[in-house]
């Protein structure tokens, strides 16, 4: 969520026709919030609505809107929650060389469901969180082989009622350049600076410089990697500033996509904005497998692992999620979904807890799926 948006994903989303959809889901499982001593089976029902539309402002500009709101109620202990998200992107293409994007988003979510975006769920899995983002991207292509991208982003993570997590504001600045060497090979250089301030009075600073590149290794097989150095320093009221030494930073992914299925593995070791004392170094590994079983049915598997080195007294805080999903379109307007999740977290007290949940739901789209 707090990394720069993937620019290439927007055009595909913008081409989708306007729609409104409604969904109903039932979730049941053991210890869904990963709390000590709570092994009872808990069931929740959720009703939600989502809509999206793309508006052609003029021949060179588009406005993409997307949002969802949901009401969830648990049958014991946890009560009810109103969750949701909204996103707006304004894209403008001045000419073949220059294009810009201005975006804003809001998200209200339960921390375990946002843990693929943050390590905060390992620290406090119960507090509801709100997240705000405003970003501005500029892309300049002086020629067909060269691309220069600049990004400025403000974000806020606002935990609700947490004793361990604090509201954190951050500003991120990114400047990167890429040069295509051949049809499927490119290299580049990227620099990033992040400044965060936390409601508890602490502040963090991070700077990163990386060399990056990518290539198509074989038909359907692509890989990219980014290597460099990162520094993180933290300041607390009345105490000398700590940190600031250089540390290894790396991002990489490899994907195999022979059309019928897609397998991607992504790894990351880099500074990340959290609501636990600001910017922290995070290790993450994600693997996802998508399979189209037939024209109207899809199956996916995903595993996500994240840890925060150097925080726990005995064990680094970490979260892990494994998910399986099956969806089948029935008729013209209805989609059935089945799923199962396994979650595990280790907090700052080095206590590990796990849970499993199963879900079934249906989505009704207007005018059609």
| pLDDT per residue as tens digits for the range 101-110 | 999 999 998 8
Q: Give the H/E segment covering residue 14.
A: helix 9-14
CA-nearest of 249, 170, 171 to 208 is: 249
What was the pLDDT predicted at 138? Answer: 97
Quote the pLDDT of residue 200: 86
pLDDT tens series, the chain, 369 aa: 333 333 433 443 445 678 899 999 999 999 888 888 778 899 999 999 999 999 999 989 999 999 999 999 999 888 889 999 999 999 999 888 999 999 999 999 887 776 555 678 888 877 789 999 999 999 999 999 999 999 999 999 999 888 889 999 999 999 999 999 988 999 999 999 999 999 988 899 999 999 999 999 999 999 999 999 999 999 888 888 888 788 999 999 999 999 889 999 999 999 999 888 889 999 999 999 999 988 889 999 999 999 988 776 667 888 899 999 999 999 888 999 999 999 998 887 778 889 999 999 999 998 654
Which pLDDT does position 13 carry in this prediction? 40
Residue 38: Cβ within 10 Å count: 16
| Cα–Cα distances in angstroms (integers) from residue 141 to residues 137, 178, 263, in the given order | 13, 10, 31
pLDDT value for 313? 62
201 conformational bin, left if phi > 0, alpha if psi -120 to 50, beta if neither: left
Q: What's the Rg (C-alpha) of the chain?
A: 21
CB-based burial label for 39 (10 Å; 0-12, 13-18, 19+): exposed
pLDDT value of residue 260? 85
Q: Quote the pLDDT of residue 94.
A: 86
pTM, 2 dp: 0.87
pLDDT of residue 36: 83
Q: Which of 249, 250, 253 is nearest to 265 (CA)?
A: 253
> How much is the pLDDT for 351?
80
The pLDDT value given to residue 298: 95
pLDDT at 114: 61
Q: Which helix (H) or strand (E) holds 146?
A: strand 146-160
Q: Give residue 117's pLDDT.
A: 57
């Amino acid at each position: 969520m707090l990394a720069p948006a993937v620019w290439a994903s927007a055009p595909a989303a913008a081409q989708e026709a306007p729609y409104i959809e409604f969904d109903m889901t039932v979730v049941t499982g053991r210890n869904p919030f990963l709390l000590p001593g709570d092994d009872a089976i808990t069931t929740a029902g959720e009703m939600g609505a989502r809509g999206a539309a793309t508006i052609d402002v003029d021949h060179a500009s588009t406005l993409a809107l997307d949002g969802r709101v949901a009401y969830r109620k648990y049958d014991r202990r946890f009560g009810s929650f109103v969750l949701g998200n909204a996103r707006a992107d304004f894209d403008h293409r001045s000419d073949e060389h220059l294009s810009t994007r201005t975006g804003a988003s809001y998200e209200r979510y339960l921390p375990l469901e946002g843990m693929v975006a943050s390590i905060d769920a390992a620290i406090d899995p119960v507090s509801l969180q709100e997240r705000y983002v405003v970003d501005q991207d500029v892309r300049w292509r002086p020629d067909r082989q060269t691309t220069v991208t600049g990004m400025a982003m403000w974000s806020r993570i606002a935990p609700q009622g947490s004793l361990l997590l604090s509201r954190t504001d951050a500003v991120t600045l990114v400047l990167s350049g890429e040069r295509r060497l051949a049809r499927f090979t490119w290299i580049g250089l990227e620099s990033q600076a992040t400044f965060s301030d936390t409601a508890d009075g602490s502040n963090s600073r991070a700077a990163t410089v990386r060399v990056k590149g990518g290539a198509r290794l074989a038909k359907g097989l692509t890989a990219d990697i980014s290597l460099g150095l990162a520094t993180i320093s933290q300041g607390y009221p009345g105490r000398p500033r700590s940190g600031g030494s250089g540390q290894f930073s790396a991002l990489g992914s490899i994907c195999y996509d022979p059309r019928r299925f897609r397998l991607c593995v992504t790894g990351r070791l880099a500074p990340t904005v959290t609501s636990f004392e600001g910017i922290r170094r995070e290790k993450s590994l994600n693997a996802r497998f998508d399979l189209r079983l037939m024209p109207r049915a899809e199956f996916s598997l995903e595993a996500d692992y994240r840890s925060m080195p150097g925080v726990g007294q005995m064990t680094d805080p970490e979260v892990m999620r494994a998910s399986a999903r099956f969806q089948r379109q029935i008729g013209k307007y209805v989609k059935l979904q089945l799923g199962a999740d396994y979650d595990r977290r280790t907090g700052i007290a080095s206590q590990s807890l796990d849970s499993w949940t199963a879900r079934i739901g249906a989505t009704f789209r207007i005018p059609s799926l």
